[in-house]
Amino acid sequence: MQSSYPLVPALEQDALAVCLQRKLDGKTKPQGSLGQIERLALRIGLILGSQAPELERPQLLVCAADHGLAIHGISAYPGDVTWQMVENFLAGGAAVSVLARQHGLELTVIDCGVRHDFAPRPGLQVRKIATGTADALSGPAMSQAQCDQALRNGAQSVLSLPGNALLLGEMGIGNTSAASLLMSRLIGLDIADCTGAGTGLDALAVQRKISVLRQVLDRHAQAREPLAALAAFGGFEIATLVGAVLQAAAQRRVIVVDGFISSAAVLVASALQPAVLERCVFAHRSGERGHTLMLAHLKAEPLLDLGLRLGEGSGAALAWPLLQSACALLREMASFESAGVSRQESALP
């Protein structure tokens, strides 16, 4: 299966890191006073290999698919919402559509396996593997061949898009369950710690959801390796995002990770190629139960903490201006020398 995805080498840019840190420290401010924005500027500079990084033609990729497991009542919404929301994305009416317009993000929606046939139009890529995954309670959500194809589809989608930044988004009724299953299996946490309300389940429905997911984990007890777990639990949109993340990382694009489901795709990708995480910026801490634990496992520092749990890439789009600001500050903010500003005096012995 390794031939299905590119290798992602470590950045190994210690000299550039020193130069970037020296440049940040020399700006007209107390050292470290811009906090996380300084760390963000350093990270972007390292990813793009530049002391004056510029973000060009950012691409927001929303991968959509249906889940066979949804027949077990694991979501507060019916399965038809997946295709209806794809239509909403393409018509410009969804939250992510509004935010993409506001921030100048190029939005592409991929039909990875939606139970609906879409009319061709700009902004839509049809890479449908099947009309939804199989019921993971009865067998694997995907065959290994389907999983492999989804990885290739994600990589090919990224190759078809310009720019040096990729923002991740997704849509699929039931996909918080797939993300919870992947998290539980790959991190080794109890499924109850990984499972939340998703689209808005009440407390009793969450307990039923946990019961179903526990049965799925037992059904696929042998699926321990990252790609085996991905095939067992799904979904097509998550697997496509895994391929997209691996390709974007290999091309040294800045990868802006949205919420819980997008983070699950990065979890799988980083289990395959650990250096993926060097290229990732985590947009926010989701309100979905389990995301805090997943971020801790990934050693990720989210930019925002707003209680978001919409998905779609909405959190990534909301965080995007912070990346632009970090780059602008690194490029344009004056140094003490250029501005004729006195530096901080050394502390007395």
Mean pLDDT throughout 198-225? 92
What is the structure's pLDDT at 343? 82
Mean pLDDT throughout 317-330? 98
Extended beta strands in the chain, E state? 59-65, 106-113, 124-126, 165-171, 254-257, 280-282
- Asked if residue 335 and residue 287 are part of one domain, the reply reads no
- Asked if residue 124 and residue 20 are part of one domain, the reply reads no
Asked if residue 298 is part of any domain, the answer here is: yes
Asked if residue 345 is part of any domain, the answer here is: no
Reference 298, options 311, 313, 282; nearest CA is: 282
Domain with 215 in it: what CATH number? 3.40.50.10210
- Asked if residue 129 and residue 20 are part of one domain, the reply reads no
- Asked if residue 333 and residue 322 are part of one domain, the reply reads no
In this structure, of 93-102, 194-203, 211-220, 329-338, the range with the lowest mean pLDDT score is 194-203
What range defines the domain where residue 149 resides?
59-326
Mean pLDDT throughout 173-202? 93
- Asked if residue 116 and residue 31 are part of one domain, the reply reads no
- Asked if residue 32 and residue 175 are part of one domain, the reply reads no
d(CA 51, CA 72): 52
What is the structure's pLDDT at 346? 59
Asked if residue 54 is part of any domain, the answer here is: no
Asked if residue 143 is part of any domain, the answer here is: yes
| pLDDT of 1 strictly over 60 | no
- Total-model pTM: 0.96
What is the structure's pLDDT at 2? 47
Cross-sheet strand order for the sheet of 280-282: 124-126, 106-113, 59-65, 165-171, 254-257, 280-282
| pLDDT of 10 strictly over 60 | yes
Percentage, residues of the chain above pLDDT 70: 97
Which is the catalytic residue, given 106, 225, 312, 332? 312
What is the structure's pLDDT at 3? 47
- Asked if residue 250 and residue 173 are part of one domain, the reply reads yes
Q: How many CB atoms within 10 Å of residue 189?
A: 16
- Asked if residue 250 and residue 305 are part of one domain, the reply reads yes
Asked if residue 162 is part of any domain, the answer here is: yes
The total domain count for the chain is: 2
- Asked if residue 286 and residue 141 are part of one domain, the reply reads yes
Token reading at 7 = 């290798």
- Asked if residue 25 and residue 162 are part of one domain, the reply reads no
Residue 312 is a catalytic residue: yes
Domain with 42 in it: what CATH number? 1.10.1610
Asked if residue 348 is part of any domain, the answer here is: no
- Asked if residue 110 and residue 39 are part of one domain, the reply reads no
Average pLDDT, the chain: 95
| pLDDT of 91 strictly over 80 | yes
Reference 290, options 217, 196, 203; nearest CA is: 196
Asked if residue 346 is part of any domain, the answer here is: no
Asked if residue 349 is part of any domain, the answer here is: no
- Asked if residue 320 and residue 203 are part of one domain, the reply reads yes
| pLDDT of 230 strictly over 90 | yes
| pLDDT of 348 strictly over 80 | no
